[in-house]
Amino acid sequence: MLLNMAIADAYGAGFEFQSYERIKKYNTAQGYVNHSDSRLPLGHYTDDTQMALALAELMLSGKDWTPENIAQAFVDTFHRDPRKGYARGFYNFLQKTKSGADFLKHIKPDSEKSGAAMRSAPLGLFSDIQEVIERCETGRGAAGVE
């Protein structure tokens, strides 16, 4: 699942926030397309996959599912591989952030973007729908959403 997500994310990265004309011209499924601002190398996945990996690693670690542990997973995964697929402001925020507690203290929880949904795929591995809902609710603060 995560491999397919990373491949699709890397493909879609070339089309994020692009004009309809550009998408129509280059979205041929024949290969990866560079984004017009070339922040991310061709064929590299973005923050969405990296943060999904952070959640999957936390799930496998056996650590408690808390906002601080979720935030720490995001921080650790970013610092292990600080890639350019993040929004510039969030990338700069993560560069300065060294701990989950620091992340939670300084995150601006007012995002109206779809990032939380984009990184939530690993949560679908839980078989109980109530557990999925509870884990999503717990992660809202760590995801920068109220």
pLDDT greater than 60 at residue 145: no
Q: Do residues 40 and 12 lie in contact, with contact meaning Cβ atoms separated by under 8 Å?
A: no
3-state secondary structure of 129: helix
- What is the tens place of the pLDDT at every residue in 74-92? 999 999 999 888 888 899 9
- Provide the token pair at 49: 């996959």
Q: Do residues 44 and 83 lie in contact, with contact meaning Cβ atoms separated by under 8 Å?
A: yes
Could you tell me the pTM of the whole model?
0.86
* Average pLDDT score over the chain: 88
Within 10 A of 29 (CB to CB), how many other CB atoms are there? 5
Place 141 in a pLDDT band, splitting at 50, 70 and 90. Answer: low
pLDDT of residue 142: 62
Close Cβ partners of 103 (under 8 Å, ≥ 6 residues apart): 71, 72, 74, 75, 97, 142
